[in-house]
Copies of this chain bind each other. A is one copy, B any other.
Amino acid sequence: MTTQTIQIYDTTLRDGSQGEGVSFSLQDKLNIARRLAEMGVDFIEGGYPLSNEKDVAFFEQIRRDDLGATKICAFGMTRRKSMKAEDDPGMTALIRAQTPCVTLVGKTWDYHATEVLRVSLDENVAMIGESAEFLARHARVIYDAEHFFDGFRANPDYAIKTLRAAASAGAQWIVLCDTNGGTLPERVAEVTKIAREKLSDFDVQFGIHCHNDGDLATANSLAAVDAGATQVQGTINGIGERCGNADLVTVMANLMLKKTGYEVLGGRSLTPLTELSRYVYETANLQWRNDQPFVGQSAFAHKGGMHVHAINKAAATYEHIDPALVGNERRILISELSGRSNIAAVAKQHDITDDRESMDKILSEVVRLENQGFQFESAGASFDLLVKKVLGMFTRHFDTIKYRIVAGDRDSRSHTVFAEAIIKLMIGDELWFDAAEGHGPVNALDAALRKALLGRYPCLSEMHLIDYKVRVVDSSAGTAASIRVNIESADESGTWGTIGVSENIIEASYHALVDAVEYKLHKENVPAPDGTKVEESAALTAGS
């Protein structure tokens, strides 16, 4: 069986930046382009050089980089109506970007030509042909046929005519775009085959550009490849307008690891994929999608006791691929359904121990806490501290003597809400007392705790809270039920989750805050004050 090379065309920097809440700085764009080139992506669409200065600067600066075989593309629309291509500022801006490839987008749907562009059908064809011809004198031309699938349904002859105009003018790639994202895979396959046949007299390659409005962008991209497309356009993590573009992460992983007969990225490994995905999320300031296929934090996470038991026997039993192939890793969640096998697996991951006696001690402590409403699946840092405590490896950095919060309306009818906290701690044999105000009682308590500790533990200034969640554990009793608080903290090197459970939300929050701080101090190997005993029980975490 021969292997067909499939080119990967990334448009994270252009179509991806249309996503809600996404905005890249110039430096962001340069950084992402370099990462994509390292990964071995064939084409990187850098932006629209007419639209803004940032994109012009991007093309100017990226030109100086050695990106290996990766080609940068500038993106632009066909010339304006009733204008020569060489006089159109959009066309000349594309040339000035001096990229080896130019991606030209044109109208395929008759309705769009007449109703949106307000040109005749013939003028639209002329705009495509003349623009492609002009650009082909300076660069290799990729032609993006906007709304191809909708246009073909409405007027197949005209849609094909627009493709032929681009091909005969020198475009080397014809990219079929499902711009509205609503086409079904069987239709993508069928229409891709027809388009190839109708242009079989040209020496062109076909590409596919999908959007995810039907939750089918990955399937549609794969269907087009099976129908003969040799280029897939998409974005990292599928970011993009509305429901996003085809996710190149899942397209590449499926082509390389699932389907047979295709080669992507010049045969390079996919192990940097998870890191690349997270890098793009971080740069775009977007939340990771934990359940993202292949690269998500939960993609190889196992919760049910039965599954975990089986996973330990043979990974392939419950995993569709080896997570290491995409740079991801297996995670065993500690949950209400977990048994000994879950805990042993986590302890092993944390390189802790797996002797039978220690396991039993950890297990019985976890069961005791789970019965109180603890759940360690998103509180890995609290679990870590618990293990250290059970194994006698935990040193406490401070003792809480007392804390108190006051909150309410300041006074009659002014409705000014206030919150204050006081805290009294022992660090070794020194007594510390402090107070702080906050936007709410937990915020005030956090502020007071840090204020009291910072003098002695300055590294705590590096950490901050990034998320705070509260849940009633047994909701049948309303506000008198147990309250579970999860806090997510971060410093420059990562994030960690802690938990507190109590009937009192303030107490639960306080325990989660204390765990967050202790985890940071242990992580940084900050010595505890002299004379502090090593803990041998989980009493603190347990909130007793």
A contacts, CB < 8 Å to B = 18-21, 23, 25-28, 51, 111-112, 115-116, 179-182, 184-186, 212-216, 218-219, 222-223, 226, 238, 241-244, 247, 250, 253-254, 258-259, 285, 287, 289-294, 296-304, 307, 309-310, 313-314, 317-321, 333, 336-337, 375, 377-378, 400-409, 411-413, 415, 417, 419, 424, 438-443, 446, 464-472, 474-476, 478-481, 483, 488, 502-507, 544
Contacts and interface: CB of A to CB of B under 8 A. Distances in A.
Given A116-B310, A215-B254, A289-B289, A475 B479 contact: no
Contact of A215 (B247, B403, B506): B247
Contacts of A320: 180-182, 213-214
A195 to B, nearest CB: 20
A487 to B, nearest CB: 8
A251 to B, nearest CB: 8
Contacts of A215: 218-219, 247, 250, 254, 293-294
A518 B319 CA distance: 51
Contact of A464 (B290, B408, B478): B478
10 contacts: A19-B298, A180-B320, A215-B294, A242-B300, A243-B296, A403-B409, A405-B407, A440-B504, A470-B470, A470-B471
Nearest to A219: B219
Contact of A212 (B238, B293, B400): B293
Given A20-B333, A291-B212, A417-B502, A242 B409 contact: no
Given A184-B259, A185-B219, A337-B51, A18 B214 contact: no
A468 B478 contact: yes
A184 B440 contact: no
A467 B478 CA distance: 5
Given A20-B298, A287-B287, A402-B409, A443 B111 contact: no
A452 to B, nearest CB: 15
Nearest to A318: B180
